[in-house]
Amino acid sequence: MAPMDAAVPGTLVWGHAALAVCAALYLAWWWTFFNPALPKAMGALYAMGVGFILGAVAFGIAAVVLLAMGLGALAGAPQVGGAAPGWVFAVGGVAAYAALAFVTVRFFGRPVTTELLLFVLWAALELAVLNALMGAGMLFGGAFWLLAGVVALVTAANLVCYVLYFRLPPVPSFIDGAAPLAIVGVLAAVLAAVIARL
């Protein structure tokens, strides 16, 4: 249970809300430009698609900034749980990205694209948030492990989709590329609601 004088930083809630919007806009961009059932985007549709990706970038940056602010606020709270130092997730994220880039290229012949960086960054950031909440006594150990397990499962599913993308026919490939965006967006919205209730 959280200490009586502790409060979850609102930036963690708004950061996850921004992340959910980012995923939705990214998905809209994906639908506009990569859906094999649609004609090539031109004119107003092309401009709308560009607007979607620019909005996704803006909300993505806002999400990272807000979540980082929330992590900073939690770092100053009294530590009552057995949390790992924050730098573990930064170093772990870099190491995981380097290892996954090597493995996917070397063993699966998958060229490295931005999506790998995005979902590794997402996983490291989510685990850092959950860890900080546990350390501040705002998240029980069981809830931490449950949510961390969900993040790990989503990351594993994202990696499978990432590896399969170039091996699939057009329609399955389009769906394969959209699935991680939808899952991460839904999970971000769920986490925003969960954290708001802590």
* Percent with pLDDT over 90 in the chain: 89
| CB 137, CB 81: distance < 8 Å | yes
Other C-beta atoms within 10 Å of 193: how many? 12
Query: According to the model, what pLDDT value does residue 6 have?
Result: 57
Q: What type of residue sits at position 80?
A: V
Phi, psi (degrees; rounded to nearest 5) at 51 = -60, -40
In a domain, 45, yes or no: yes
Domain count, the chain: 1
| CB 191, CB 126: distance < 8 Å | yes
In a domain, 3, yes or no: no
- Eight-state DSSP code of residue 76: T
Three-state SS at 5: coil
> To 5 degrees, how large is the angle CA 24–CA 26–CA 31?
95
Q: Which of 62, 120, 69 is nearest to 90 (CA)?
A: 120
> To 5 degrees, how large is the angle CA 89–CA 112–CA 176?
90
In a domain, 114, yes or no: yes
| CB 67, CB 125: distance < 8 Å | yes
Q: What type of residue sits at position 93?
A: G
Question: Quick one: pLDDT band at residue 140, thresholds 50, 70, 90?
Answer: confident
Q: What type of residue sits at position 67?
A: L
Query: According to the model, what pLDDT value does residue 35 have?
Result: 96
For the chain, the average pLDDT equals 94
CA distances from 169 to 109, 122, 160, 165 (A): 17, 27, 16, 9
In a domain, 5, yes or no: no
pLDDT tens-digit readout, 42-53 = 999 999 999 999
Answer yes or no: is pLDDT of 7 > 80: no
| CB 87, CB 111: distance < 8 Å | no
In a domain, 4, yes or no: no
DSSP-assigned letters across all residues of 135-147: HTTSS-HHHHHHH
In a domain, 1, yes or no: no
Q: Which residues contact 169 (CB under 8 A, 6 or more apart)?
A: none
d(CA 18, CA 64): 9
Q: What type of residue sits at position 75?
A: A
Question: Quick one: pLDDT band at residue 3, thresholds 50, 70, 90?
Answer: very low
Q: Domain residues for 48?
A: 10-196
In a domain, 37, yes or no: yes
Answer yes or no: is pLDDT of 1 > 50: no
